[in-house]
Structure 1
């Protein structure tokens, strides 16, 4: 008889069979087929979820990892924990126990307060770790059960960034001119010379970018303060505090990103703009637009994230229902006229225009754009960027485009009367014009 209170593959399957969720035949089959390697590297719930079995009690329910997590939480009597990294104090959580200890027992502190410490576990029946943590924190411990795959992933991620922060901080405290020395090390690393000292800053920057991609952030804000630097993400139009970084490390992180964007690292007195091309965790190419600004406590940096996948989205992926999509297709299918997409910053105006242009771009059509700046480079468009230093603005750009025999013109934004007049003139002379207007709400 298998002890049902042991979170083993045998124990979990026996519970599932007893609950009439899995047939005994399937349970026996997976026990005979699963490899020793999978037993050691995967949680029992991950192994079962990978089979994509149907719930025998509810045929319309697949035994997904999320379903199994909820089921095992109910079996153990623990609350199910849902990770929200933006609400976690990563530094406080990772300081409770070491990564080695946390990974050994499959646990992760997820909330630390004066009243109690909340610990997420992947084994709801094993509490050998509790006495040690109780001795360390000397306050009540609340235990919750979490998706084991997410717990493993976040544990590695959070401890990695904390270790990088600690190592970078230790290196920053060595010597009087540590920041300048660190900048030199990062520059050396950028041209191929590997040095362990700069690798910690590189790790921090890489983590911030990859984390922003996974959270679907549209912007990364790195803001210097007197004692601590703030890292915030804008997600769905709302700013979220992500991490606090020591001020000296903040400056080094900003310098590293400036190097990646080919900005002048030594110039800290005036704003600069640049671009970075990198890849998301799933390998997709992503472009970031950089903007630096001098503040009272140092340089503030904003990274605007542009996902090239917006170009291959269909209109239903943008949230349009079939009726709305048909109306929009009919509008952009007109040979001439003007179409304006309106809304506040971050509402999807640019995404809508790019998706529409990609839909319209064909070998027999000449698509020209004037943008400030070019947010996504697309080979099927003829894209021109506003350059105020040579008096190339939207209005003069439209005049130039009209002499380029265009079929479709995209104007990044109509900001003034002259640009509006040129857009209307282009529409009246047989061109299809697409543009945006900034508005805060529907009435405006």
Structure 2
């Protein structure tokens, strides 16, 4: 598989109507280079910039027998943005693969790449690119990595006060493993880097190994794995231990070898942060056990497991208050304790809000804040 990146520096502008509608806020000014006069180049660059304007997490270019559709994942939901001519399948795929420095002649095997985009206001955007061969052409998916928006403080994660305190206590321990878990797209990297941002001080030596490095963080020693030359998670971890580290970050624990190396690092006086694809905190412990990690090592090395999801939040600019009888909410499953927080003085009606839609959002919902579940384990 191929994995590389290329920088694109836009400078000239063109207006592209937004497929969601005619709202002025949804018509974006897309920056293009002076030599990008080819219609396919303009189309692709327009979609990339449009995705960032809308807070899109993933772009899907999907060929089918009858159409070539483009879908955006916004607020966790896939939405069809436009359909393209079937004749554009090969051209759009080639353009994306060129930008990601992938092999355009290879259409039979999956490939990975990366696109780095520098906007006119010096805002850096990354797109992680994945291409797979399908029956009617290559399907290409781009994951948007907004470096500026991906670095948040812990108090911006949406944690309850007691959850935040538990998280902070684990991060301030001199050793142990802190695991951020959840399915794909649940904001694990966001929470991981929030913790990393807190720990990144002049007195701390931090090394990370990732696949690939998603966010460049000044003051942190970041390594991207490269299986082609034998640079794996485990290889990097062994080298880190000879680099006098205080904190070690592993992008993801995928196998027993990496898990054992992480545990050895934690048991020898280092703080280790990592992620794991599991659905709950308790399932994380079972996953490590099934990998082959000894129960004794799990018990002594794991400091905290945080299982999280992303939840849609009503746009603060346009949400509309709706008064609903309290008994109706009780029938819907709300608890009396919930109603006390949202009820009016007469306690017969409760104030809730509904989505409306405005120039600041697409459908009444804001960007996805991290919602961390309460089944953390420590």
User: Where on the TM-score scale, by shorter chain, does this alignment land: which range?
Assistant: 0.5 to 0.7
Query: Which segments of 5 or more consecutive residues in structure 1 lack a partner in the other structure?
Result: 1-84, 91-107, 109-150, 162-188
- 2:71 and 2:121 mapped to 1: Cα distance? 23
Out of 231, 239, 242, the position equivalent to 1:392 is 231
Q: How big is the alpha-carbon RMSD for the aligned residues of Structure 1 and Structure 2? A: 2.6
Q: How many Å apart are 1:337 and its aligned residue?
A: 1.1
Q: 1:183-215: CA deviations, max 9, x gaps?
A: xxxxxx98x756x5x1x2222112211221122
Give SS of 2:222's match.
strand
Q: Which residue of 2 aligns with 1:152?
A: 24
Distance 2:227 2:74 in 1: 31
- Matches of 1:369 and 1:221, distance apart in 2: 29
1:393 deviates by 2.3
> Does the C-alpha gap of structure 1 residues 212 and 298 become closer, same or farther in structure 2, counting only changes over 3 Å?
same
**For 2:262 and 2:149, how far apart are their aligned partners in 1?**
25
Residue in 1 aligned with 2:164?
325
CA contact (8 A) 1:365 1:407 kept: yes
Indicate the residue corresponding to 2:51 in structure 1: 212
Residue 354 in structure 1 maps to residue 193 in structure 2: yes
Q: TM-score, normalised by structure 2?
A: 0.64
- 3-state secondary structure, aligned to 2:90: helix
Q: Report the structure number with the largest CA radius of gyration.
A: 1
Q: Distance in 1 between matches of 2:130 and 2:150?
A: 24
Q: Residue by residue, what CA displacement relative to the aligned partner does 1:387-419 show, whole Å, maximum 9, x if unpaired? A: 222333222221121122111001111111221
SS of the aligned residue for 1:392 comes to coil
> Per the alignment, in what secondary structure is the counterpart of residue 263 of structure 1?
coil
Task: Say yes or no: does 1:235 pair with 2:66.
Answer: no
RCO higher in 1 or 2 (8 Å CA, sep ≥ 6)?
Answer: 2
Contact 1:201 1:252 in 2 (8 A): yes
2:122, 2:161 → 1: CA distance? 31
Following superposition, which runs of at least 4 residues in structure 1 exceed 6 angstroms of deviation? none
Output aligned runs, 1:277-316, within 5 Å: 277-279=116-118, 284-316=123-155
CA distance in 2, matches of 1:420, 1:193: 48
The 3-state SS of whatever aligns with 2:269 is coil
- CA distance 1:336–1:307, change in 2 (3 Å): same
Cα distance, 1:302 vs structure 2: 1.1
Q: 1:233/1:193 Cα in 2 relative to 1: closer, same or farther (>3 Å)? A: closer
CA contact (8 A) 2:89 2:137 kept: no
Q: 1:225 aligns with which of 64, 78, 82?
A: 64
Question: Across the two proteins, how many residue pairs are aligned to each other?
Answer: 265
Structure 2 equivalent of residue 177 of structure 1? none
Cα deviation, residue 315, structure 1: 1.4
CA distances 1:146-187 after superposition (whole Å, capped 9, x unpaired)? xxxxx3344x56xx99xxxxxxxxxxxxxxxxxxxxxxxxxx
What is the deviation of 1:441? 4.0
- Among 82, 89, 93, the alignment partner of 1:254 is 93
Deviation track 1:321-366 (CA, whole Å, cap 9, x = no partner) reads 3443233222101111111111111111111111211211112211
What is the Cα deviation at residue 297 of structure 1? 1.1
Distance in 2 of aligned mates of 1:284 and 1:193? 21
Give, in whole Å, the separation in 2 of the partners of 1:393 and 1:301.
Answer: 26
CA shift, 1:433, in A, is 0.4
Map residues 44-63 of structure 1 onto 2, 5 A cutoff: none
1:119-152 CA deviation, whole Å, 9 max, x = no partner? xxxxxxxxxxxxxxxxxxxxxxxxxxxxxxxx33
Per the alignment, residue 218 of structure 2 pairs with 379
Alpha-carbon distance between aligned partners in 2 of 1:313 and 1:408, rounded to the nearest angstrom: 19
Q: Which has the higher helix share?
A: 1
Give the match's secondary structure for 2:263: helix
Q: Does 1:370 align with 2:209?
A: yes
Contact preservation (8 Å) 2:60, 2:71: yes
Q: 1:274, CA displacement in angstroms?
A: 1.7
Counterparts in 2 of 1:281 and 1:153: CA distance versus 1, 3 Å: farther
